[in-house]
Amino acid sequence: MESKKDRFQRLATIRTNVVLQRLKVLGNCSNRQAYEYTEQEIKKIFSAIEEQVKDVKAKFTPAKKDQFQL
């Protein structure tokens, strides 16, 4: 039986490699001889990526519990 840690390491490795590979594929779109794009479009793409990374990273950070105080 696979432990939780082993399962995390196995799946996190696979999923991280998929994300990294897809980013490399996105990088292929930077070829100006094959594609035409604006700086605004690039900003929109990377803004969306950065926002998603921020959201996912927050899931791995323990939530701060502000204590109630009068």
Each residue of 20-59: pLDDT tens digit? 999 999 999 999 999 999 999 999 999 999 999 999 999 9
Helix, strand, or coil (residue 18) = helix
Each residue of 7-23: pLDDT tens digit? 999 999 999 999 999 99
Name, in order, each residue with C-beta under 8 angstroms of 35's C-beta and a sequence gap of 6 or more: 29
**Separation of alpha carbons 35 and 46, rounded Å:** 17
pTM for the model stands at: 0.81
Going from N- to C-terminal start, the domains of the chain cover 4-52
